[in-house]
Amino acid sequence: MADLVRIDCVNKSDRPNPHERIRNVGGINPDGSRWKLSETQAIQGIRQGKWSFYVERPPGHRVRVVIATSPWGNEYLKTEADGEHPNNLLALPECP
């Protein structure tokens, strides 16, 4: 069974652009230490059933992170459609 993991920050290739590609996702471990994975590692972990990611923004509003495919065949992470714009994942703060 996949571990449920909250993503609370991202690194994008162009930070000011809300539609730019995510390079890394990150969060906080139960012991308070930080974790960070490349988008590729996160996608592999989802595919392998290792992790199930979510974003909680605003607090109490959980949205699942899923794998999507661009029209050019590139896989990327995004949140399930919930009516929020921009995408909850893309709107997260920068990871340290």
Tens-digit pLDDT profile for residues 20-71:
789 999 999 999 999 999 999 999 999 999 999 999 977 888 999 999 998 8
CB neighbour list of residue 14: distance below 8 Å, 6 or more residues apart:
20, 21
What pLDDT is stored for residue 10 in this prediction? 95
Looking at the predicted structure, is the pLDDT value of residue 6 above 70?
A: yes
Rounded percentage of the chain residues whose pLDDT exceeds 90: 59
3-class DSSP assignment, residue 48: coil
Residues 24-33 have pLDDT tens digits of: 999 999 999 9
- DSSP class of residue 75 equals E
More confident residue, 59 or 81: 59
Q: pTM of this prediction?
A: 0.86
Query: Per-residue pLDDT averaged across 6-23, rounded?
Result: 80
Task: Tell me the two tokens of residue 28.
Answer: 């906080």
